[in-house]
Amino acid sequence: MSVQPFNSNTGSARVHQTGAGPMFRARWLRWLDRRLPPARSVTLNHRKLFVLPTAAGAGLLLVIFLLWLLGTNYENNLVLALAFLLVGLLVILPVHTFANLSGLRLQLLDTYPAFAGDYGQAKLALSKTGKRNHERIQLVWPPEEGVLTDVLTDGEAREVRLALPLLQRGRIKAPRIHVQSRFPLGLFRCWSWVDLDAEFLVYPQPRSAGPLPYGASAGEGDQQQSFSGGGDDFAGLKTYQPGDSLRHVAWKQYAGGRDLYSKEYASGSDTRLWLDWDLLAGRDVETRLSNLCAWVLDAERAQVPYGIRIPGQTIAPGLGPAHRQTVLSLLALFPVQGVAEPIPSVEGVAG
Report which of 102, 325, 107, 328 is spatially closest to residue 198, judged by C-alpha positions. Answer: 107
Q: What is the pTM of this model?
A: 0.69
Q: What is the pLDDT of residue 251?
A: 74
Residue 61, H or E segment: helix 55-74
Q: How far apart, in whole angstroms, are the C-alpha atoms of residue 202 and residue 120?
A: 8
Show pLDDT as tens, one digit a residue, over the chain (351 residues).
Answer: 444 444 434 333 333 444 447 788 788 788 888 888 888 999 999 888 999 999 998 998 999 999 999 888 888 889 899 989 999 988 899 999 999 999 899 999 999 999 999 999 999 999 988 888 889 999 998 877 788 888 887 778 889 999 999 999 999 999 999 999 998 888 999 999 999 999 999 999 999 888 888 766 544 434 444 444 445 556 667 677 776 777 777 777 777 777 777 776 655 545 578 998 988 888 889 999 999 999 999 999 988 899 999 988 899 999 999 999 999 999 999 987 544 444 444 333 333
Angle at CA of residue 42, ends 40 and 45, nearest 5°? 170
